[in-house]
A and B are shown apart, each in its own frame.
Chain A
Amino acid sequence: MSEPIMQLESIYRSFKKDRTDIPVLQDVNFAVNNLEFLCLVGESGCGKTTTGKILAGLLPPSSGKIYFEGQDITTLRGSARNHYRRSVQIIHQDPYASLNPTHTIYEMLSFPLFHHKFVRGKHQARERVWELLELVDLTPVEDVIDKYPYQLSGGQRQRVSIARALTTNPSVIVADESVSMVDVSIRIGLLQMMMNLRDELDVTIVFITHDLALAKYFAWEGRIGVMYLGRLVEIGKTQELIATPRHPYTKVLLSAIPEPDPEKTRAKRHIQLRSEDIPRLTELPDGCTFHPRCPWYVEGVCDVDVPRLGIPANDSNNTVEVACIPVQRGEELRLYES
């Protein structure tokens, strides 16, 4: 596997609301390897966007360390810090809110080019914007470059957001739900374009989605990290994670998702949760936060000890890390009976 380009180490983040601290991320640890396809998945509110913002330096963690190209970003000053900020870009979740409606596409893309002194003069700027629009397949460029965002479709706007993220020649792009708002018939084209950017521009894309099937497609050659209530509960090679999920939450999730094949989806066995209630972040259960719902819960262990990511005892290839103590011990999972 390639070297990490970024690393998150024991990241905690909380937000204050009505004088109580809401822990949104807890003990998040993972590396982003250079040029890998990495995908973060999880249900709404599990902390995906927050993690993405922390990677991009848009939000400081409450505690924990962020490394970029091996360096702790809090130690970066001056041009080194600018280099980091330029090198890690985020494409925000909402394509409507993130584009300024009063600027044309050219204005929007040329601004960061001038600001970072990547171009001199209008002629050069226009040439570079043209190139960027071609990279994201917004062609013919002359039909798009002088338009305003409202004159473009949702899919086209999303391509503009991507082009804007590319203006600073980033080495990492965090793409937050970048195709979720786009219609099914054009979604895959957008995703394929993003996947091609890796080879064309040597950029590593961290893709955030709530859709596991989409994650599987994007990260087929890479890795998926599964988040639950602010923690990373499993991370590993996509093909293995999909075929043999280890963490109970990943297992339940995969079993619950309907599939676009009538016979297959109707024959699917759904693992029943012990409880359907999702705990609030303000009242997180002790031990493993999944334990009140987990079908394989082990009394006296899961409700007491907080599991950290680790390699399961019976995993000889070291390709997956799981935050579940019974799984780490290599125990045969037995359904909990009350």
Chain B
Amino acid sequence: MGKMKDDVVLQVDDLSIVYHTIRGDVKATNNVSFELRKGEAMALIGESGSGKTTISLSLIRKLPKNAEVTQGQVLYQRENGEVQDILQLSNRQLREFRWQDCAMVFQGAQNAFNPVLKVSKQFEDTARAHGWSDKKAVRQRSLELLKLVRLDPERVYDAYPHELSGGMKQRTLLALSVLLSPQIVILDEPTTALDILTQRAIIDVLNDMQEKLNFSIIFISHDLSLAAEMADVVATVYAGEIIEIGPVNDMFYESLHPYTFGLLAAVPKLDHEQDVLTSIKGTPPNLINPPSGCKFHPRCRFVLDRCNVDVPALTEDLGSHLAACWNKEAVVEARKEQV
């Protein structure tokens, strides 16, 4: 198995995934590569349908049946330095990997709680499936975690899901996700569909949890503000590709890709000034027949002649900030003019 840097827990190399459909192959993930460091929070941002969920499902091998991984590897490094390719795990290994090494909270999962099972039962079942059947110990650990997510532990542990509000369910799921002390937690749209004040509570809880338990997070969101607040590293996904990735401040203050730059220029802010905003022209592409060259070229205000022919690679510019674009200089210039 390939070598990984010591501080990296997950390394995705050149991953491509298609969905086979009657209308043709949906190229939902293309040549995606990234590294997730220990204790780091990474945000995947992008519009609906850009492929965020597909990437995250592949990391725990939960893709739907019509999906096919056409190339790539997903390397996972255990605490003892052992490296495995998730895509090659046997079913038994995979069952262990999920929850123990990597837990995922799915999009809208707060609605997917089994309604007839008490919260305690769902915690116990998860523990037992991983060979931990000492109910008392499970209970003790669960209560600690429920407290960590700022719930009334006893009350919630004994409750049925319908007795909990959406925000309480989401926090219960967060507690459940770390029950078996995974190194990685994946969160798909963790605050979407929750109210503002509930979202705030979830964000605060997540920050607390990460500080205390020190796991790595991959979270997916179409909400740039959430990424600004929670992420150490941000990756922009467009048409199934990571087109820019870098430390959160670089991404927000010195974005290099026209799409990230355009998204930021389209988001209203809450400060006391009037916003000057512009949309990106056109609409996101269809992934059955995506545009040639740079997939963003039909919408790009900085497009060059070569952009519809040559595919730009995700290349390094400054340290760990990477962007896939032939005309980054133009973005840098445009930003200068903005201020």
Contacts and interface: CB of A to CB of B under 8 A. Distances in A.
A153 B48 CA distance: 12
A260 B197 contact: no
Nearest to B238: A185
A19 B105 CA distance: 38
A265 B200 CA distance: 12
A262 B200 contact: no
Contacts of A192: 279
B263 interface: yes
B195 A43 contact: yes
B248 interface: yes
Interface string A236-273: 00010011000000001110111111111110001001
B167 A254 contact: no
Interface string A313-336: 000000000000000000000000
B197 A43 contact: yes
Given A185-B263, A258-B203, A276-B197, A216 B165 contact: no
A188 interface: yes
A184 B263 contact: yes
A239 B272 contact: yes
A146 B295 CA distance: 29
Contact of B199 (A183, A242, A256): A256
B266 A262 contact: no
A44 to B, nearest CB: 6
Contact of A262 (B167, B249, B283, B284): B249
B283 A276 contact: no
A265 B225 contact: yes
Q: Tell me if A's interface is mostly helix, strand, loop or mixed.
A: helix
Identify which of B222, B226, B271 gathers the most chain A CB atoms within 10 Å of its CB.
Answer: B271
B331 to A, nearest CB: 15
Contacts of A190: 279
Given A155-B283, A189-B279, A278-B165, A184 B224 contact: yes
A210 interface: yes
Interface in B212-255: 222-226, 228-229, 248-249, 252-253
Given A261-B252, A276-B167, A254 B272 contact: no
A257 B267 CA distance: 14
Nearest to A244: B272
Contacts of B271: 259, 264
> Which of the four size classes fits the interface of chain B?
35 or more
A186 B280 contact: yes
A283 B160 CA distance: 20
A239 B272 CA distance: 7
Identify which of A185, A189, A252, A266 gathers the most chain B CB atoms within 10 Å of its CB.
Answer: A185
A256 B266 contact: no
A277 interface: yes
B277 A217 contact: yes
Given A43-B195, A44-B195, A270-B200, A216 B229 contact: no
Nearest to B248: A262
Contacts of B264: 260
B96 interface: no
A57 to B, nearest CB: 29
CB-CB nearest 7 A-B residue pairs: A189-B279, A256-B200, A258-B225, A213-B268, A185-B280, A217-B268, A183-B47
Interface of B: 47-48, 150, 165, 167, 195-201, 203-204, 222-226, 228-229, 248-249, 252-253, 259, 262-264, 266-272, 274-275, 277-281, 283-284, 299
Interface of A: 43-44, 153, 155-156, 183-190, 192, 210-214, 216-217, 220, 239, 242-243, 252-254, 256-266, 270, 273, 276-278
17 contacts: A43-B195, A156-B283, A183-B48, A183-B284, A184-B267, A185-B299, A187-B266, A189-B279, A210-B195, A213-B268, A220-B274, A220-B275, A253-B197, A258-B225, A258-B226, A260-B252, A262-B253
Given A43-B195, A258-B200, A258-B228, 8 more contacts: A183-B48, A220-B274, A239-B272, A254-B270, A257-B196, A259-B228, A262-B249, A265-B225
